[in-house]
Amino acid sequence: MAATTPHSLSRVRRELRTQLLQYAQLMRLNRPVGIWLLLWPTLWALWLAGEGRPDPQILIVFVLGVIIMRSAGCVINDLADRKLDPEVSRTRDRPLAAGSVAPAEALVLFVALGLVAIALALTLNPLTRWLAAGAAALTIIYPFTKRFFAAPQLVLGAAFGWAVPMAFAAQTNAVPQLAWLIWLAVLVWAVMYDTLYAMADREDDRKIGVRSTAILFGSADLFIVALLQLTFLLAMTLVGQVAELGLWYLSGLGVAAALMIYQLIVSGDRLPEDCLRAFKNNQYVGAAIGTGIFLHYVFLVP
């Protein structure tokens, strides 16, 4: 048997580090904007459900759950698209598309992430566990809807907003109308920002037969994006009224509105890199609204 040398151990460590980096890229940990887009509505819901004082254990579980489920969603998405991504200029370097991660490895990673998510869900109450099953179903279904459904962004929006009723259920053991109103607002918001995202790949998607709202809306894309932005802002204004939020919240919503106007200006020429920049800007929309909610409770008069 050949002796293990320091050189061979060093090579093994390098290869292991390289492979772990490939797994991290597959989970998009190097691109956290998706985590923020999922996390901000979750934090809104936890703060509103907990009236400014969410349960610390529940908060930790949901933050970890957001990271795990977003990572799992990216893995199953790339697994489903592994034969399509090489045909799209922006995605051909993804680990599965480039062949640096095998499909079997990705499947094992997805299962492992799923088991972690189940373990987290088991720490919550029964109602939240049932809702978590719905979140898992939406995560798995979404990547395949791009083959046959003209507006897969609706499914994505339902998935990205599903943490909202879960947060209310975990915090209060009920899902009030306010939770479903926020869920609907987040669904509209997600359709809007993912349309901007899809506009960057529109021509490639047409060639390979992938469907999206960017293709569905055609030349009316930015007009419809603006309508979706307005609908989202009106829905979130109603959220503020129902939850009796004050000036801090309205100020945050005003900043969000200004950011959305900026997104329309940036994406005006429909250049792929500009559409992606407008898409990424939505993490700051979430932050602005979240800051308004947090400050409302910080300065709330007892």
Indicate whether 114 belongs to any domain.
Answer: yes
Contact partners, residue 8, CB within 8 Å, separation at least 6: none
Q: Is the pLDDT of residue 4 over 70?
A: no
What's the rounded mean pLDDT across residues 228-248?
97
The domain that holds 220 is classified in CATH as 1.10.357.140
Indicate whether 132 belongs to any domain.
Answer: yes
Q: Is the pLDDT of residue 8 over 80?
A: no
Indicate whether 129 belongs to any domain.
Answer: yes
Q: Any idea what DSSP says for residue 88?
A: S
Indicate whether 251 belongs to any domain.
Answer: yes
Return the pLDDT at 91: 83
User: By residue range, what is the domain housing residue 133?
Assistant: 26-298
At 7, the pLDDT band (50, 70, 90 cuts) reads: low
Indicate whether 5 belongs to any domain.
Answer: no
Indicate whether 18 belongs to any domain.
Answer: no
d(CA 158, CA 162): 6
pLDDT digits (tens, 9 = 90+) for 14-72: 878 888 899 899 999 999 999 999 999 999 999 999 999 999 999 999 999 999 999 99
Q: Are 192 and 267 in contact (CB under 8 A)?
A: no
CA 95 vs CA 15, 48, 77, 86, 155: distances in Å? 15, 39, 12, 10, 25
Total domain count for the chain?
Answer: 1
> CA quadruple 12, 13, 17, 20: dihedral positive or negative?
positive
Indicate whether 106 belongs to any domain.
Answer: yes
